[in-house]
Chains A and B, each alone.
Chain A
Amino acid sequence: MEELKNELKQKIINVLNLVDLTPGDVEDDAPLFGDNGLGLDSIDALELILLMEKDYGIKLKDASAGKAIFQSVNVMADYIEKNRTR
């Protein structure tokens, strides 16, 4: 699980061009969206949906489904662990 979380942090940084951050800067339970977290926006959420599909074989049809899943790295890793097909 720790490995998956670190992998996920690196992927989020790469996919979303968070150039000034390293995986160590991203807290496991910090919110990804909104001003108190990484400050991600709606396009970032769509990119994360694409990441889930591309790298873990998880298809989310509805953009709003991402809201619950992309709360934090913890929640996201948990969801991937349970639903991944690759």
Chain B
Amino acid sequence: MTGRTAYIVADNIISPLGTDSAENYRRVLAGESALRLHSGAAIGVAEDYQASIMEEDCLEDGKIQGAYTPFESRLILSVSKALSQVEWIDPASEKVLFIVSSTKGNIGGFLGDSARKVASAFGNKVRPLVVSNACISGLCAQIEAMRALRSSRFDHVVVCGTDIQSKFIVSGFQSFKALSGRACRPFDSVRDGLNLGEAAATMIYSAALPEGYAPVQGRKIWVARRGAIRNDANHISGPSRTGEGSYRALRAALGDFPVSGLAFVNPHGTATLYNDEMESIAITRAGLGAVPVAGYKGYYGHTMGAAGLVETILSMKAVENHMIPGTRGYSENGVSCPLDISPSPRPTYKDSFVKLLSGFGGCNAAALFTLSDAPSSPSWTSVPAASDAAPRLEYLHRVHITPRSVELDGVRLEAEGMGEAFLSDIYRRRIGDYPKFYKMDPLCKLGFVASELLASAEGRLPEGREDRAVILFNRSASLADDRIYLDTISDGNYFPSPKVFVYTLPNIVTGEISIRNKYYGETSFYVLDERDEDVMVNVVRQVLSDHGTTSVLGGWCECSSPDGFEADMFICKAL
């Protein structure tokens, strides 16, 4: 990747283990964990659950004034702590972008509106991005930050993430039988599930440093070198048995970087049977089987939208302090490709690490970070947006679907009915060979039908492509499905449905499209506070700056209710 360098200039973690990154690292290194057994009855779920939950006193210092939800105020608190480290950045500047990473956000609220409130709290008026890519959101948000800086559209990016554990999320993971009743045991032979956790975290990315700026001891600064997102194209909840997407993301993120330069790999390591097994295969396939591996889920549980940030920051501290935390909960190898994992801390004198995440929807992300010498010459060079470095787009096909009409490349197609029945009629007339369609939620049905029409206009391409990305946007995230799921967990009639829960992750639609077409490329779902062509076009252009990506199936895919939706999607490539 040519162009500007993406530096990391400030960070913050707020969790039950502390309210800044250094304190969190210190307590992790000392083996502390906030995982506790919590009463299921207290939040209205069937069973007690082991989790790391933020009590109000974690947030006491610096309570946020104003009409904010807990989701928003946690983000604002974390961002303000990170921004206080870089007073030379004016968060209100139009050259500063806010990106929020969240798996579920405010249930029942609009994620884009929350992101806008967070940005506004700092006087920022640029439309913020929300990445809602299930469990990999925190790395996707960072990858988008790297691209936004390299394209020169922005000088600084504030990346923040959080999720709040609730009846909604806990019941959903319980319905998946994915939770362990004990503190989780990543990669261990007796691991039996994950724990949920809460944290809020922020990373500030910059491409425009003041002269002589070197935030890390020894005149050093963190560089985010490269990141990649790839899909398993296999199943919407089960990880690939061959570690396909994770392996491909890892390979793309590493490029020609020498394995011998890696201090360690920080995996997702949730401690579910299938995730850890999959990652052991992916890491080994990528040639990293001998590199030390250290995971943090045993300290924090799975903090969802915050995880990619929390775990990247802890890994940065590990390299800076030459000490890799132990993998809490690990004792004996329990995966088919044994990795170099230690339950206790280990020294390192290398300066790079790789972070991995995987999530529902078959998505996987990997990113490579290096602690580098700070630049000696000033890089305080703000570039005007006109010289934007990302490629221009050429649109190949377009489809537009509303509850009563469908147009492909400007030609109206015949179909009957209204709303969800209209989508089913298009399916019967034009597709018909994919009964899984009937299992999908309305958002997936909409995106799936639109993608099938685009694929038919294009002529089916050979399967197994890694160069086709699927990038969708909307306003309502999975609001329509959230309502359906809430009906399955009402107090009088509590039967949480795993198939409904999985569709409450908006990015599942990108996974469904990848599975159908065997697209191994990048998949991402963004939530905006309103439809904005400029923002969508710029994100898609930046996706095309990924070395492995040559075309994008993407666009607007909004579904606010089973009969209220609009898809305006396209296939495009770099001009």
Given A17-B438, A19-B438, do A50 and B235 touch, yes or no (CB 8 Å)? no
B176–A18 touching, CB < 8 Å: no
In the assembled complex, which residues on chain B have CB atoms less than 8 Å from the CB atom of A50?
A: 175, 495-498
* A46 close to B (CB within 8 Å): yes
For chain B, the bracket of interface size reads: 10 to 19
In the assembled complex, which residues on chain B have CB atoms less than 8 Å from the CB atom of A17?
A: 438-439
Cα A19 to Cα B432 in complex, Å, equals 12
Instruction: Say what secondary structure dominates the interface of chain B.
Output: loop
Given A41-B235, A54-B495, do A46 and B435 touch, yes or no (CB 8 Å)? no
In the assembled complex, which residues on chain B have CB atoms less than 8 Å from the CB atom of A54?
A: 495
A46–B235 touching, CB < 8 Å: no
Q: Which of A42, A47, A62 contacts B497 (CB 8 A)?
A: A47
Q: Residue on A with the closest CB to B439?
A: A17
A10 CB to nearest B CB, Å: 16
In the assembled complex, which residues on chain A have CB atoms less than 8 Å from the CB atom of B498?
A: 43, 46-47, 50
Q: Which of A19, A41, A42, A46 contacts B175 (CB 8 A)?
A: A46
Cα A20 to Cα B435 in complex, Å, equals 7
A18–B435 touching, CB < 8 Å: yes
Cα A53 to Cα B488 in complex, Å, equals 14
Considering only residues 32-55 of chain A, those with a C-beta below 8 Å from chain B are 41-44, 46-47, 49-50, 53-54
Given A41-B235, A41-B238, A53-B495, do A46 and B176 touch, yes or no (CB 8 Å)? yes
A42–B235 touching, CB < 8 Å: yes
Given A42-B238, A43-B499, do A62 and B439 touch, yes or no (CB 8 Å)? no
In the assembled complex, which residues on chain A have CB atoms less than 8 Å from the CB atom of B177?
A: 46, 49, 62-63
* B502 close to A (CB within 8 Å): yes
B276 CB to nearest A CB, Å: 16
Q: Residue on A with the closest CB to B502?
A: A43
* B236 close to A (CB within 8 Å): yes
Considering only residues 406-435 of chain B, those with a C-beta below 8 Å from chain A are 435
Considering only residues 53-73 of chain A, those with a C-beta below 8 Å from chain B are 53-54, 62-63
B361 CB to nearest A CB, Å: 13
Q: Residue on A with the closest CB to B440?
A: A17
A19–B435 touching, CB < 8 Å: yes
Cα A30 to Cα B176 in complex, Å, equals 26
A16–B175 touching, CB < 8 Å: no
In the assembled complex, which residues on chain A have CB atoms less than 8 Å from the CB atom of B497?
A: 47, 50
In the assembled complex, which residues on chain A have CB atoms less than 8 Å from the CB atom of B235?
A: 41-42
Considering only residues 66-98 of chain B, those with a C-beta below 8 Å from chain A are none
Most chain A CB inside 10 Å of its own CB: which residue of B176, B177, B236, B496: B177
Cα A47 to Cα B175 in complex, Å, equals 9
A35 CB to nearest B CB, Å: 13
Cα A62 to Cα B177 in complex, Å, equals 7
Residues 2-32 of chain A: 1 if any B CB is under 8 Å from the residue's CB, otherwise 0? 0000000000000011111000000000000
In the assembled complex, which residues on chain B have CB atoms less than 8 Å from the CB atom of A42?
A: 235, 237-238
B176–A16 touching, CB < 8 Å: no
A16–B439 touching, CB < 8 Å: yes
A85 CB to nearest B CB, Å: 15
In the assembled complex, which residues on chain B have CB atoms less than 8 Å from the CB atom of A18?
A: 435, 438
Cα A46 to Cα B237 in complex, Å, equals 12
Interchain residue pairs with CB less than 8 A apart (10): A16-B439, A20-B435, A20-B438, A41-B238, A42-B235, A43-B237, A46-B177, A47-B497, A49-B177, A50-B175
Q: Which residues of A contact B (CB under 8 A)?
A: 16-20, 41-44, 46-47, 49-50, 53-54, 62-63
Q: A42-B237, A47-B498, A50-B495 are in contact. List 20 more A-B contacts (CB 8 A).
A: A16-B439, A17-B438, A18-B435, A18-B438, A19-B435, A19-B438, A41-B238, A43-B236, A43-B237, A43-B498, A44-B499, A46-B176, A46-B177, A46-B498, A46-B499, A49-B177, A50-B496, A50-B497, A53-B495, A63-B177
Q: Which 7 A-B pairs have the closest CB atoms?
A: A63-B177, A46-B498, A19-B438, A17-B438, A17-B439, A54-B495, A43-B499
